[in-house]
């Protein structure tokens, strides 16, 4: 875990290892849920059961889990086109999410959104976003709303290495910094933006190095180490919560699957992907927990089985749910509907 310069002053990274055992196991469980949900979704998509297209976060589960479990339920997150993990980690029920991927009326978005617009406002998950970089200003707004209501909620904005080059991220970063808003800009640098290697699009090595330009702490963390991510987010969320202002956290991770399911991935060598298997965030946390005596094989298998059953139930629920009726397309546009479309 590296730390970058903060406007001259050094951001001190307090390294504490006090993540309690329950939380450590929760992190593992959430990561397993994400992995299982997405592997299932991938298979279902390839089998032609899911319409639309799908972006998987397999390999990046430590980011979603580590970050979201460091937040409160009433904290906000904004997400990206790759949002299943964020949504699950914020404790959204898997059934409604799966039903959404199935385009069913029981889906989180009643079948109107699909994978790319997965959202669960009841847990503060303000939505995946089909516009890269679209979530940054939404998070700033969430933080403004919290301040206005005088709550101590924070807003965490997930974004990618590719999104870092959008102007929205710049404007949001500057604004959050000027107003010392409780925003955590959390960049999942998974080394690619679609077909483009981060290095070919980012003018610097580390996204976190841009933090100094906003007078914001910039932190780099191993994005495949759930405990490390968790510690960093917990610390900076507390900092933001107590009025310390925003932070930019860059999690170095890797996208193990294609940009979307079906991506021929001509832009990278299979070797490169294979080499990353050694960094698998789930295996890694499991090993750590085992080493600490918190997990044995039996328990891991039990966990896997529980998660598999949850996701299988979600698939059953989704499959058995009805499709929306065509006229439902006209609902949900306005709170106060307009009788005649003008």
Ligand X SMILES: Cc1ncc(C[n+]2csc(CCOP(=O)(O)OP(=O)(O)O)c2C)c(N)n1
Residues 156-195 that bind Mg ion (CB under 5 A): 160-162, 190, 193
Q: x-or-dash pattern for other proteins, window 15-54, by CB under 8 A?
A: ------------------------------------xxx-
Picked from ligand X, other proteins, Mg ion, none, the partner binding residue 91 (CB below 5 to 8 A depending on kind) is none
Is 136 a residue that touches other proteins (CB under 8 A)? yes
Is 120 a residue that touches other proteins (CB under 8 A)? yes
The widest CA-to-CA distance across the chain, in whole angstroms, is 66
Is 107 a residue that touches other proteins (CB under 8 A)? yes
Which one-letter DSSP state was computed for residue 325? P
Nearer to ligand X, 153 or 189 (CB): 189
In whole angstroms, give the CA distance from residue 251 to residue 237: 15
Which among 70, 69, 125 has a CA at the least distance from the CA of 97?
125
Q: How far is CA 316 from the centre of its chain?
A: 25
Q: x-or-dash pattern for ligand X, window 216-255, by CB under 6 A?
A: ---------------------------------------x
Minimum distance between the CB of residue 55 and ligand X, rounded to whole angstroms? 6
Q: Which of 152, 179, 308, 310 binds other proteins (CB under 8 A)?
A: 179
Picked from ligand X, a copy of itself, Mg ion, none, the partner binding residue 174 (CB below 5 to 8 A depending on kind) is a copy of itself
Nearer to other proteins, 142 or 251 (CB): 142
Residues 1-60 that bind ligand X (CB under 6 A): none
Per-residue 3-state assignment (H helix, E strand, C coil) for 112-179: CCCHHHCCEHHHCECCCCCCCCCHHHHHHHHHHHHHHCCCCCCEEEEEECCHHHCHHHHHHHHHHHHC
Picked from Mg ion, other proteins, a copy of itself, none, the partner binding residue 256 (CB below 5 to 8 A depending on kind) is none
The secondary structure of 179-245 as a DSSP string is: TT--EEEEEEE-SEETTEEHHHH-SSS-GGGGGGGGT--EEEEETT-HHHHHHHHHHHHHHHHTT--
In whole angstroms, give the CA distance from residue 95 to residue 126: 18
Is 79 a residue that touches Mg ion (CB under 5 A)? no
In whole angstroms, give the CA distance from residue 216 to residue 235: 15
Contact residues for ligand X, defined by CB under 6 A = 80-82, 130-132, 160-163, 190, 192-194, 255, 259
């Amino acid at each position: 875990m590296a730390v970058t310069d903060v406007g001259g002053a050094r951001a001190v990274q307090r390294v504490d290892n006090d993540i309690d055992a329950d939380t450590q196991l929760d992190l593992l469980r959430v990561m397993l849920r994400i992995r299982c949900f997405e592997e299932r979704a991938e298979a279902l998509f390839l089998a032609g059961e899911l319409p639309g297209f799908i972006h998987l976060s397999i390999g990046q589960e430590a980011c979603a889990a580590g970050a979201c479990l460091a937040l409160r339920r009433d904290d906000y997150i904004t997400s990206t086109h790759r949002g299943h993990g964020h949504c699950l980690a914020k404790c959204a029920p898997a059934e409604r999410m799966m039903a959404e991927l199935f385009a069913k009326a029981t889906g989180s978005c009643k079948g109107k959104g699909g994978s790319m617009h997965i959202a669960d406002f009841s847990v503060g998950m303000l939505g995946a976003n089909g516009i890269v970089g679209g979530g940054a200003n939404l998070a700033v707004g969430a933080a403004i709303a919290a301040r206005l209501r005088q709550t101590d909620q924070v807003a965490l904005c997930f974004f990618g290495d590719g999104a870092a080059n959008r102007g929205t991220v710049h404007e949001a970063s500057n604004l959050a910094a000027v107003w010392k808003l409780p925003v955590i800009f959390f960049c999942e640098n998974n080394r690619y933006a679609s077909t483009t290697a981060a290095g070919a699009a980012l003018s610097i090595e580390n996204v976190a190095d841009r933090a100094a330009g906003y007078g914001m702490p910039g932190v780099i963390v191993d994005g495949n180490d759930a405990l490390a991510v968790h510690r960093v987010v917990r610390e900076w969320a507390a900092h933001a919560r107590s009025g310390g202002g925003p932070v930019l956290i860059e999690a170095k991770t890797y996208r193990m699957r294609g940009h979307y399911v079906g991506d021929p991935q001509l832009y990278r060598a299979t070797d490169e992907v294979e080499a990353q298997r050694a960094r698998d965030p789930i295996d890694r946390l499991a090993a750590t927990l085992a080493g600490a005596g918190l997990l044995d094989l039996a328990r891991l298998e039990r966990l896997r089985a529980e998660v598999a059953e949850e996701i299988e139930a979600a698939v059953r629920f989704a499959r058995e749910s009805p499709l929306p009726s065509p006229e439902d397309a006209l609902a949900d546009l306005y709170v106060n509907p307009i009788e005649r479309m003008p």
